[in-house]
Amino acid sequence: MPTTQARVTGSGYSVFSWAGRPIAFLLSVEDSGQRAWSDKGQAYAAIHPLGSRTPVEIATSRVLSLGTLQMTIQELWNEAIWEQLADMSGTNNIVEIFDRLASTPNAVTAQTIIKPPGTENNPSRWRGKTYHNCTIVDIADGDTITVGGLDVAKPIVAAYTHSTRLGA
């Protein structure tokens, strides 16, 4: 393969796993990232004393909000989309998923690995993120059926407390 600069996401160059296992029919993952958090909404505030024409400083938050992962999964004939996730087989709804996650002895981690092309003589440097303390917080449990529809892809949303970078 010629040397490229742009990242290619398909063709095995990006891999996502949930609880140590890949999701076979995963179509996409969207990581919201983590933003600075404040109970006032904005994670910054202008410190503007009376009598001053301009703020004297900008106060900024020093804590992060949770992040979310929206996974879009191809629905299969014989199981709900969330049953493709590790240890979710046999659950029927979001409350049963909450119960299953609460009864697991270890917190769930998810991981994205980005594998740039390389060769045996010049291997690539992998990088990615590990998402810690993942909890499924929403599932698409409804259905839309259309004439001529060829496939059904549905989202699952998981929240995570923090992430760490791989290869940094």
Question: Is 73 within 8 Å of 156 (Cβ atoms)?
Answer: yes
Q: Which pLDDT value is given to residue 124?
A: 78
The two three-digit tokens of residue 129, written as one number: 């993120």
Alpha-helical runs (H) found in the chain: 94-103
Kindly state the helix (H) or strand (E) to which residue 110 belongs, with its residue range.
strand 108-114
Tally: H helices and E strands in the chain: 1, 10
Q: Environment class of residue 66 by beta-carbon count within 10 Å: exposed (0-12), middle (13-18) or buried (19+)?
A: middle
Quick: pLDDT tens for 49-75. 999 999 999 999 999 999 999 999 999
In the prediction, which pLDDT does 37 show? 92
**CA–CA dist 130, 47 (Å, integer):** 36
Mean residue pLDDT of the chain comes to 90
Report pTM: 0.84
Picking from 82, 86, 74, the residue whose alpha carbon sits closest to that of residue 141 is 82
